[in-house]
């Protein structure tokens, strides 16, 4: 029998420190620039202070990009612009420095970590530190079969938790979270449609590399068929991930929850991460307080998920490439908010007004 009790997360996850946030707001009111004049940067600085339990807020000095990778059997239906089973090629390009996230991370000086959960390739073809958490080779075709066994789903979930612990223990102070997958946006659409109680067409987008109309219709049909399999298991989140998720999505969900336990802030990227965040919110309602939505990708499913969690994207650039590239663009904004909150000087105290001499009472005139 499994020893993993998802209900424990509700007890373990606390909200960011409300008292510290009030102290940060009070400090902001004393700074030389009027409160509100920096827009959302004020809110970000106060959120970071609460997350860190520190006033003034500490600078973000050790951010890290974490990417969970996997292939999805549903890609066999032609729902993606990439061939089924080809996510490993994207991973190699990330590792070789040729993907958008690699260029941006290099420019910003942020290390990138790739975690293979279910790539459809021989593990010997990738570095050991990439493949050591792998659960299986590829995930099942969710319109007709489960993505994972119950044991695989738990193993992937626990692997995500372990990666969160590794990052927190190594001193990472903020994670930019993304995925590298083929078929992942279809799986994400199923989870979001199921959890939001909506139809396939409402959540179906064009994916990371825009698909044509025929592929979009195939994607809608795949999500519709998988939804029939998802709805009976909506009450059991780990079973939902096993039925219509995948090893990478189960790992991302575990990572998000354990990061909240460890008080490690996370910037969410696109629709795949948003779907996992929605599952995680079902498990522990306070968890989204530790996350920022880095960007709006334009994928309709992402918009539905973020609305459900009341997370407002920091940027709206329509970056659909995945692999945390869009969220990474938001990192300098968060770092700027921290710097402004910590380094803007406070207004000098006004000198106390000099005591005025008391007025002398005039003698009353005698009545004549």
- Per-residue pLDDT reduced to its tens digit, 31-53: 999 988 999 999 999 999 999 99
Q: What is the pLDDT of residue 133?
A: 97
Structural domain count of the chain: 1
In the predicted structure, residue 361 carries a pLDDT above the cut 60? no
Mean pLDDT of 281-299: 96
Structure tokens at 75: 């890609």
Buried b (16+ CB within 10 A) or exposed e, 229-258: bbeebeeebbbbbbbbbbbbbbbbbbbbbb
**pLDDT tens by residue, 56-109:** 999 999 999 999 999 999 999 999 889 999 999 999 999 999 999 999 999 999
Q: What is the pLDDT of residue 347?
A: 86
pTM over 0.75: yes
**pLDDT tens by residue, 172-182:** 999 999 999 99
Q: What is the pLDDT of residue 1?
A: 46
**pLDDT tens by residue, 7-17:** 999 999 999 99
Contact present, 297 and 213 (Cβ < 8 Å): no
Does residue 34 lie within any of the structural domains? no
**pLDDT tens by residue, 191-226:** 999 999 999 989 988 876 678 889 899 999 999 999
Does residue 223 lie within any of the structural domains? yes
In the predicted structure, residue 25 carries a pLDDT above the cut 80? yes
- Percent of the chain past pLDDT 70, that is, above it, reads 93
Q: What is the pLDDT of residue 81?
A: 87
Structure tokens at 65: 């990009």
CA distances (Å), 247 to each of 72, 119, 179, 251, 321, in order?
A: 9, 9, 12, 6, 20
Catalytic hit among 46, 152, 154, 323 = 323
Does residue 74 lie within any of the structural domains? yes
Q: What is the pLDDT of residue 351?
A: 64
In the predicted structure, residue 350 carries a pLDDT above the cut 80? no
**Element (DSSP H or E) covering residue 267:** strand 266-268
Does residue 152 lie within any of the structural domains? yes
In this prediction, residue 359 has a pLDDT band, given cuts at 50, 70 and 90, of low
Q: Which domain holds residue 260?
A: 8-17+62-334
In the predicted structure, residue 143 carries a pLDDT above the cut 70? yes
Residue 66 sits in a domain whose CATH number is: 3.40.50.10210
Contact present, 108 and 332 (Cβ < 8 Å): yes
Q: What is the pLDDT of residue 2?
A: 66
124 included as an active-site residue: no
Does residue 243 lie within any of the structural domains? yes
In the predicted structure, residue 250 carries a pLDDT above the cut 90? yes
Rounded Cα distance between 132 and 147, Å, is: 20
Does residue 221 lie within any of the structural domains? yes
Q: What is the pLDDT of residue 135?
A: 97
Residue 330: how many other CB atoms lie within 10 Å: 22
Helices and strands (H, E) in the chain, number of each type: 15, 5
């Amino acid at each position: 029998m499994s020893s993993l009790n998802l209900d424990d997360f509700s007890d373990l996850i606390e909200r960011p420190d409300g008292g510290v946030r009030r102290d940060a707001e009070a400090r902001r009111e004393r700074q030389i620039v009027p409160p509100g004049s920096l827009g959302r940067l004020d809110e970000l600085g106060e959120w970071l202070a609460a997350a860190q339990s520190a006033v003034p807020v500490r600078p973000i000095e050790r951010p890290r990009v974490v990417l969970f990778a996997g292939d999805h059997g549903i890609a066999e239906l032609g729902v993606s612009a990439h061939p089924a089973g080809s996510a490993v090629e994207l991973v190699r390009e990330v590792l070789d420095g040729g993907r958008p996230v690699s260029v941006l991370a290099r420019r910003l000086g942020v290390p990138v970590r790739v975690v293979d959960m279910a790539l459809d390739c021989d593990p010997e073809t990738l570095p050991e530190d990439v493949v050591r958490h792998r659960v299986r080779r590829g995930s099942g075709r969710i319109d007709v079969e489960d993505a994972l066994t119950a044991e695989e789903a738990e193993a992937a979930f626990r692997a995500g938790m372990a990666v969160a612990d590794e990052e927190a223990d190594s001193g990472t102070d903020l994670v930019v979270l993304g995925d590298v997958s083929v078929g992942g946006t279809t799986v994400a659409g199923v989870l979001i449609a199921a959890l939001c109680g909506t139809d396939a067409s409402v959540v179906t987008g064009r994916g990371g590399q825009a698909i044509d109309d025929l592929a979009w219709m195939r994607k809608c049909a795949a999500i519709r068929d998988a939804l029939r399999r998802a709805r009976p298991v909506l009450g059991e989140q780990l079973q939902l991930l096993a039925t219509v998720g995948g090893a990478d999505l189960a790992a991302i969900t575990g990572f998000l929850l354990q990061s909240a336990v460890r008080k490690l802030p996370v910037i969410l990227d696109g629709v795949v991460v948003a779907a996992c965040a929605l599952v995680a919110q079902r498990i522990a309602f306070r968890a989204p307080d530790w996350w920022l939505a880095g960007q709006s990708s334009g994928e309709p499913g992402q918009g539905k998920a973020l609305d459900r969690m009341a997370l407002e994207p920091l940027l709206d650039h329509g970056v659909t490439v995945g692999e945390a590239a869009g969220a990474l663009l938001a990192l300098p904004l968060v770092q700027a908010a921290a710097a402004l909150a910590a380094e803007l000087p406070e207004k000098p105290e006004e000198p106390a007004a000099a005591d005025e001499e008391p007025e002398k009472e005039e003698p009353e005139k005698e009545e004549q």
